[in-house]
């Protein structure tokens, strides 16, 4: 009985300590890029969904942008469609883009929507093509229909903020001539966050955060420090595009970006509602 009593007290203390953060983020727009471990199992996805429903319940405005590379690879293999990569980006001809849209807007998007709904939320799935949310141009002709966002129309997302609904966005864009573009999920999340002037952009990944030259996670960085670490090759490999997305989002008006470990259960809640945090926070200064 004593152990149970201690657990209750610990839970009450945690809730009490969260109060300043709940007040701080009341009405805040938070864009979350979902990928990696958080999408790897039904259990992990349900845990993430529960966190998102909690955010909406306490007055925040979460917007989910998801990836789905492994699932796309699996479907392309089943259909015997070859897909190459150039500098980490998928070469996307028309056949590949059709599969990408089918997987992202169909199977993956609706599984996330269902997970949130199962936790008591009201999620709505859409893509960057809906209401011309994300208008794109060719990123690099060598890559085919891989898009870079050049014009954003976030009004459709703002309509969700006055309701109980939670938008879940597949990273597809539309071209000025009606093309469908495959957009990197981090890039899409950064562009959407900037268009909304979001309070936070959270990039869930499979590493603990940005590391220094000693291999230790840095809890806070300025934009200037990030550029220095990239120049010194301390930030390297797959972390470069994530930090570049962060810098672009901050330049576009996002207050801060957090690169956090999606393998940690309740990572989003730990980052937003505790002193401890769950990754590396990057801000202008």
Active site residues: 33, 36, 69, 186, 242
Q: Residues 261, 210: contact at Cβ < 8 Å? A: no
Phi-psi region of 245 (alpha: psi -120 to 50; beta: other; left: phi over 0): alpha
| Dist CA 79 CA 57 (whole Å) | 41
| Dist CA 180 CA 38 (whole Å) | 27
Angle at 113 between CA 108 and CA 117, to 5 degrees: 150
Tokens of 201: 């952009």
Phi-psi region of 183 (alpha: psi -120 to 50; beta: other; left: phi over 0): beta
Q: What are phi and psi of 280, to 5 degrees?
A: -110, 120
> Which three-class secondary structure state does DSSP give residue 63?
strand
The closest alpha carbon to 169, from 209, 198, 142, 140, belongs to 198
| Dist CA 268 CA 285 (whole Å) | 23
30 Cβ contact list (under 8 Å, min separation 6): 55, 60, 61, 62, 63, 198, 199, 200, 201, 202, 272
* β-strand partners of 281: 220, 258
């Amino acid at each position: 009985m004593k152990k149970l009593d201690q657990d209750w007290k610990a839970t009450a203390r945690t809730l009490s300590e969260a109060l300043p953060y709940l007040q701080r983020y009341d009405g805040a727009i938070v864009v979350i890029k979902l990928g990696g471990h958080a999408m790897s199992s039904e259990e992990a996805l349900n845990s993430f969904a529960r966190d998102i429903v909690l955010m909406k319940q306490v007055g925040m405005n979460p917007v989910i942008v998801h990836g789905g590379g492994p699932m796309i690879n699996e479907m392309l293999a089943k259909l015997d469609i070859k897909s190459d990569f150039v500098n980490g980006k998928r070469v996307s001809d028309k056949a590949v883009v059709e599969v990408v849209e089918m997987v992202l807007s169909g199977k993956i998007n609706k599984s996330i929507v269902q997970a949130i709904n199962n936790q008591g939320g009201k999620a709505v799935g859409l893509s960057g093509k809906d209401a011309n949310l994300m208008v794109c141009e060719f990123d690099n002709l060598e890559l085919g229909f891989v898009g870079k966002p050049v014009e954003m129309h976030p009004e459709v997302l703002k309509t969700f903020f006055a309701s109980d609904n939670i938008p879940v966005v597949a990273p597809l864009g539309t071209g000025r001539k009606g093309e469908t573009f495959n957009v990197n999920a981090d890039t899409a999340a950064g562009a959407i966050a900037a268009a909304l002037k979001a309070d936070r952009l959270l990039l869930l990944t499979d590493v603990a955060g940005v590391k220094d030259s000693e291999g230790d996670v840095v809890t806070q960085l300025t934009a200037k420090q990030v550029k220095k670490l990239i120049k010194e090759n301390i930030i390297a490999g797959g972390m470069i595009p994530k930090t570049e997305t962060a810098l672009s989002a901050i330049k576009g008006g996002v207050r801060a970006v957090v690169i956090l470990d999606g393998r940690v259960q309740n990572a989003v809640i730990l980052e937003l509602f505790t002193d401890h945090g769950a990754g590396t926070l990057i801000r202008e200064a």
